[in-house]
Structure 1
């Protein structure tokens, strides 16, 4: 019963974030899903564009918009996946930005590192790590990062840490900007 309540609470909070209920008017919320039809998003695997020969498997039946990506760490440790967020209506504003990841029960990694690359650059900053196995289903806070300039693109990279017998996942990412 306790776990069911926690899952329902996570879903309610996630829906609240997505629908904008209760959001502070000063903040800007940008959500990018791994879904291939998303208009302001791109997805890249280990430096390969969508459709490359990466080992991140596309799955349906769970997750944000009912789909997600999964990689088996035992077979392909450290192979990264990135979501490229674009804000066509404006820039990501300089200041502190928060990163949230949408997690589901298929994700079993104990340590997944998240990176941010402002402007799609080659120099990234670690945002934080997330224990995907123990994380609640739904939106989970990963960490924050500061930008010193305005950017119309942010790349968020997921880096598996090579733990045998676990699966890293990548689904929707949310950036909360000032």
Structure 2
């Protein structure tokens, strides 16, 4: 039961990132970056394929090797990307995986490995790098120039024992549905 609650918390964290990601780009201080915003030309299939690629960049080299339990792709909803902040007909999707089949004590290690793999790909942090002294860190990054947002998060299974769980997720930029 604790595992189910913790996974729900991790899923909510991914959803929170997804709704934050909708629309415009922001720098580390939350300011809109109009100079680098570019229209994205893709459809749902292409967005899902790219999200899978980004996730596998993070998880394929992990040790211990987790079992991947897929969640999604799920639609995030309409984008709020116009200057007047109104909705348009574009959508976003979110794809995430629970990293299972490893000891709960490995959750922090898996999140760090995801971060390291994404940094190696040249992806940038949404904010600053996480404080790794925390027992349950998370990482928020994005790709450039295609602007996919990703996270690697830990959830608490047993705080007293330092046991957690991990998940990785990717949210696409806005795209036009077919």
TM over 0.5: no
Q: Scaled by the length of structure 2, what TM-score is found?
A: 0.34
- TM-score, normalization: structure 1? 0.34
More helix by percentage: 2
Specify which structure has the higher proportion of strand: 1
